[in-house]
């Protein structure tokens, strides 16, 4: 983690290569986060580009280098919501049926498939908490929600996931 903090300091001093390395180090995490809010890969890429630009322009405002990942995630979440709200007026049938391409172990694929069926507020907290391993308080801070709201969304999401699994078992019997 100390390496990331050093890269942040270098980037804040104007080292563009250090900033590029920071972005590369969180690229996969950022994509998964964007994908939990936005359906289309192109929208995820647009939101990530906007977030990178905003982060680069405002890097000097980051006071604690160790919080770079959380800080960037918050910027990305705001960009995803901005783009989502801008584009939510038109959803094609093809987009609604689009599956997420996955090349992971079967269990992880199944879990991600189940998570993708959740409504966006529940999908986002599950992605941040279980997949990206943020703490409950970090999720609350990132989403600017009370921790009680995050807890209740996680609880309800777990109930929905359990219902999905039970329904799946009934269909396979």
Say whether pLDDT at 92 is over 80. no
Structure tokens at 40: 């289309």
- Per-residue pLDDT at 59: 95
How far apart CA 20 and CA 30 sit, in angstroms, is: 14
Residue 150's pLDDT band, with cuts at 50, 70 and 90, is very high
Helices vs strands, H then E, count in the chain: 10, 0
pTM of the predicted structure, to 2 decimals:
0.68
Beta strands in 2-121 (DSSP E): none
CB 134 within 8 A of CB 76: no
- Per-residue pLDDT at 88: 59
Burial class (CB in 10 A: 0-12, 13-18, 19+), 87: middle
Say whether pLDDT at 132 is over 60. yes
The string of DSSP codes covering 18-46 is HHHHHHHHTHHHHHHHHHHH-SSHHHHHH
Residue-wise pLDDT for 44-82, tens only, equals: 999 999 999 999 999 999 999 999 999 999 999 999 988
Q: Dihedral of CA 42/46/51/56: which sign? A: positive
Say whether pLDDT at 4 is over 70. yes
Say whether 111 sits in a helix, a strand or coil.
helix
């Amino acid at each position: 983690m100390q390496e990331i903090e050093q890269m942040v300091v270098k980037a804040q001093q104007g080292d563009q290569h250090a900033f590029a390395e920071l972005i590369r180090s969180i690229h996969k995490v950022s994509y998964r986060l964007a994908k939990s809010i936005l359906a289309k890969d192109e929208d995820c890429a647009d939101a990530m580009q906007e977030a990178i630009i905003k982060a680069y322009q405002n890097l000097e405002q980051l006071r604690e280098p160790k919080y770079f990942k959380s800080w960037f995630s918050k910027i990305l979440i705001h960009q995803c919501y901005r783009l989502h709200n801008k584009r939510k007026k038109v959803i094609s049938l093809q987009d609604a049926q689009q599956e997420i391409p996955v090349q992971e172990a079967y269990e992880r694929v199944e879990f991600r498939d189940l998570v993708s069926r959740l409504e966006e507020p529940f999908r986002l907290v599950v992605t941040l908490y279980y997949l990206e391993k943020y703490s409950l308080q970090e999720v609350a801070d990132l989403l600017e929600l009370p921790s009680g709201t995050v807890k209740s969304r996680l609880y309800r999401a777990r109930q929905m996931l359990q219902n999905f699994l039970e329904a799946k078992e009934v269909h396979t019997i």
